[in-house]
Structure 1
Amino acid sequence: MTDTAKPVVPEVLDLSGDAAALTGSRCTACGAVYYPRAAGCRNPECGSGALEPEPIVGYGVLHSFTVQRYQPPSLFGMDPWSPYAIALVDMPQGVRVMGIVAGRHMQDLQIGMRLSLASQVIAQDGEQPVATHMFVPADDRS
């Protein structure tokens, strides 16, 4: 875990536990899950405003991906930078999450493969590393 790293967006990424977790929302009335967090339930059959935090953790399935060959703006800049894959991953909580895929050559990615939510240091803020969520192929996880 990246114990000393701070998240790029602290309200979304939790690095305090044994594994990276994203914070979504779950409707207390109908159980719909949203990521990122929602202000109210968007289920037209529900309409409840009662939401509670919902951790998005664990393994997901690669739904789609693309390779980014341009250097992103400084907020999300990686140092050192190189092309990377960014994916949509179907998580077991019922949401689709976008994130960087690391740990394997991009040509080995396959739709339907299992990925694990993790974190990656992408920059430095003075002395403190800055991390974001990312995914690694399940068989690359130690």
Structure 2
Amino acid sequence: MAELATTNTEWPSIGVAPSTKQLLDDFFVILDEDTPDAGEKLATRIFTPDGTFITSSEKFTGFDEIKVSREHAYDVVKERVHTLIKVYTSTDDGSDLLAIGDASIVLHKNDIKIAGNLIARIVLKDVGTDNVRIKYFQVWGDSGPMIKALQAAA
């Protein structure tokens, strides 16, 4: 079995609830698997009904938009892997997180592997419960390696 996104993550000393760590692992498993129901899983299991999901290229708000957010996620990408290296919290309850991590993808067209860093803000609702959900997720990453690889593939 592949390692989960948070297997080797360094967490803040304040402590992050186990249910939050599980939610983040579930979130990245869904992002990293090319399945036709990925968007529905995100909308029903990961995000609040009014949640916001901002990727490096698009913004999705609410159940209906998040449900279709993964429809074209694997049009160009063959494989995707996320890992979180370190997580910080700006709140005592761990409801507003900043995560630093790595992402790698393999392109369909030429099997080129592209790796880079990411930073993400993750705002959670119902922290510390089994119903914890992401209310807001925004990721930032360096798009330079992707642009270069796509140009080489053209």
Q: Shared fold (TM-score greater than 0.5)?
A: no
Q: TM-score range by the shorter chain?
A: under 0.3
After TM superposition, the score normalised by the length of structure 2 is 0.24
Higher strand share: 1
After TM superposition, the score normalised by the length of structure 1 is 0.25
Higher helix share: 2
